[in-house]
Amino acid sequence: MRLFLAVKVAPDVCRELSSWADEVSLPGKRVAPENLHFTLNFLGEGDLDQVASRLHGAFAGMEPFSVSLKGLGAFFSRGAPRVIFVKVDRGYNELIALEKVISGKLPEFRKDKPFIPHLTVSRLKEGSGAKEEVEKLIETYKKRDFGSFEVDRVILFSSNLQPAGPVYTVQAQWQLG
């Protein structure tokens, strides 16, 4: 089962982001509003029961916190944009702390690259030729406030890839605090 740990974005912020993306004709394949989340750790194929048991109680000492979203960024591959994301203004360090707890409990899933909190809103195919368009969007919306929300839980999702897009199913969740 394909698994990942994430923080879900509040519905009002999802609506705001979706409305904005409609207005600017965001290039690439947009993430469906109901699927917007912060991936803390993509586990890939994993044993649901084992992951859930190892994370039991892991977040009890962490307090809920606020995340605010401001500005855009992109991840590039070979000079071309591949992912457009919304940046974290407030709550950045707290998201990193969540990822560190997960990596400590599930070290076999630790990544080689450092964790960078970001909210993916669109994915572009290789060779899309949208580099200038994406750079202009980043510059135009660098101070755009996309809202804020409270993080009070970590969710373990399964991901079922479908032709119309991924279907995420909550498998377990843990309250902070």
Q: Which tokens hold the place of 85?
A: 């994301």
Give me the residues of the chain with pLDDT under 50, please: none
Q: Give the per-residue pLDDT at 46.
A: 82
DSSP designation for 26: -
Q: Give the per-residue pLDDT at 127.
A: 63
Known active-site residue 118 = yes
Domain spanning 2-175: CATH superfamily: Cyclic phosphodiesterase (3.90.1140.10)
Active-site residue identified among 62, 118, 130, 147? 118
In 3D space, the residue among 104, 86, 111 whose CA is nearest the CA of residue 14 turns out to be 86
Q: Which tokens hold the place of 114?
A: 């450092």
Q: Give the per-residue pLDDT at 163.
A: 82
Residue 68's SS3 state is: strand
Q: Give the per-residue pLDDT at 128.
A: 65
Kindly report the average pLDDT of the chain as a whole number.
Answer: 92
Q: Domain spans of the chain?
A: 2-175
The answer, as to whether pTM is greater than 0.85, is yes
pLDDT per residue over 41-65, tens digit each? 999 888 899 999 999 999 999 999 9
Can you tell me the distance from the alpha carbon of 2 to that of 44, in angstroms, rounded to the nearest whole number? 5
- Range list of H helices, the chain: 11-24, 48-55, 92-105, 131-140
Known active-site residue 56 = no
Reported residue count of the chain is 177
- Range list of H helices, 26-91: 48-55
Active-site residue identified among 26, 37, 43, 146? 37
φ/ψ region of 162 (left if φ > 0, alpha if ψ in -120 to 50, else beta) reads beta
